[in-house]
Amino acid sequence: MKLWSGRFSKETASLVDEFNASIEFDQKLYKHDIQGSITHAKMLAKQGILSEEEAKLIIENLHTICKEIEDGKIEFKIELEDVHMNIEKLLIDRIGTTGKKLHTARSRNDQVAVDIRLYVKEAIIEITDLLRKMQETIISLAEDNMNTIIPGYTHLQRAQPVTFAFHVMAYFQMFLRDIERLEDCFKRTDSLPLGSGALAGTTYKTDREFLAETLGFSDICQNAMDAVSDRDLIIEFISCASTLMMHLSRFCEELILWSSSEFDFIEMDDAYSTGSSIMPQKKNPDLAELIRGKTGRIYGNLINILTIMKSLPLSYNKDMQEDKPPLFDTVETLKSSLFVFNEMIQTMKIKKDNMSHAAKTGFLNATDAADYLVEKGIPFRECHEIIGKLVLYCIENHGSIEELPLNILKKFSDKFEEDIYEKIDIKNCIEAKKSSGSTSQNSVAIMIENAKKRLNL
């Protein structure tokens, strides 16, 4: 018999039980549900709604049930619909009438709302910890490659020389913004819905501030109807996750390109690569490709929850039961992607010589050649045209700017002197950058120092 069956004259059809149930996925919330129920029981006793003995009996048995679930000794029943009803039924079967008193002054609506918030808060903490570990790896990569020169690209065309340290520190900033977004999401998740009842509050004199403090919430939800129907926190969390996965995907795309024979800038460790079933020479960056592919999965979860919520009237609707699969999938996919990605970049081999050689081709010093003429008093737009013609000459004659003798350079501008060769040396092109946030070694050193401070390293 279902705990809500009083109004009904017949049992629900087995097909309805299967279609209606959420226990298959929401059992993941068992710890959060028991945590909320224990705190609710303490509050009921504090307010004199339950006796101290009744609360103690409930709490002791909830702890036992939690341990038995963790030990795999409990089998959830689909006819009890969800994790909340399963746990409550287990409690009632053990302690009888006293167990039936636990649900006083609450509804499944505020019960599931607090479970979700506890789960999301926990997930944000775990994910930001993984992000910080990955940022530490990025800092380590940067420190090991302060002098490793690599082409900087725009439009996937070689543009200007930079250091590998500078390049990876760009991702540090992306992931820093991801942490900030998640921390901001945490603030809005950190309000307690428990005590809101089904939608209108409760007639019992409860203490929601006690519930909030005990469960670790900084505030309580101010409107009961909003509290039970709000899923903005899930939407916001998955939106943050989507942006984070986009950043991971961009990094993975570069790693995939760099590990190809055409670039040959890096090599993935054997432990984080796979082979081909038919081509014995292959070493594939499958993990990077999988993370890139899983980005679409997270995007799909965001569209899923947005579509679920888009036309729902206040307050709770059964549609909202479907909020958990996209949430749970996002958390697990994101955590596994971050863990694997960090291990992958920690173990990859950086081919410094190949990177440096690539930076010497493609006229990456052309902008510095133009800047040289600017220093000689020529307007930049004229310098741009002069160097453009000079590059075309080099292409047609299969040479580079630094290889041309001075007499040839002077045919393009009489402002060229011997000091041009020092100016367009690749290392000097990097070190000549003076603006804050640039690729010069001093600037990158400041970035790393600031990054360490941000992580309290």
Q: Cβ(146)–Cβ(444) under 8 Å?
A: yes
Which three-class secondary structure state does DSSP give residue 267? Answer: strand
For 154, the token pair is: 């725009």
CB 291 within 8 A of CB 202: no
Which of 155, 277, 311, 436 is an active site residue?
Answer: 155
For residues 381-396, b (16+ Cβ closer than 10 Å) or e, as one string?
eebbebbeebbebbee
276 catalytic residue (yes or no): yes
Give the CA dihedral 68, 69, 73, 78, nearest 10 degrees.
140
Q: What is the dihedral of CA 236, 238, 244, 248, to 10 degrees?
A: -170
Euclidean distance between CA atoms 448 and 140, whole angstroms: 9
Rounded to the nearest 10°, the torsion over CA 389, 434, 153, 405 is 30
* Residue 183: half-sphere exposure toward Cβ, Cα within 13 Å: 10
Q: Please say if 273 is a catalytic residue.
A: no
**Of the listed 5, 63, 276, 357, which one is catalytic?**
276
Task: Kindly calculate the radius of gyration of the chain based on its CA atoms and give it in whole angstroms.
Answer: 31
**Beta bridge mates, 191:** 219
Q: Distance (Å, rounded) from C-alpha 388 to C-alpha 307?
A: 52
Whole-angstrom Cα distance, residue 41 to residue 377?
80
**How many Å apart are CA 386 and CA 388, to the nearest integer?**
5
DSSP state of 11: P
Instruction: Judge contact between 215 and 119, C-beta under 8 A.
Output: no
CA angle 31, 37, 38 (to 5 degrees): 90
- Please measure the distance between the N-terminal and C-terminal CA atoms of the chain and give it in whole angstroms: 57
Q: Cα separation of 152 and 265, whole Å?
A: 13
Instruction: Point out the residues that are catalytic.
Output: 155, 276
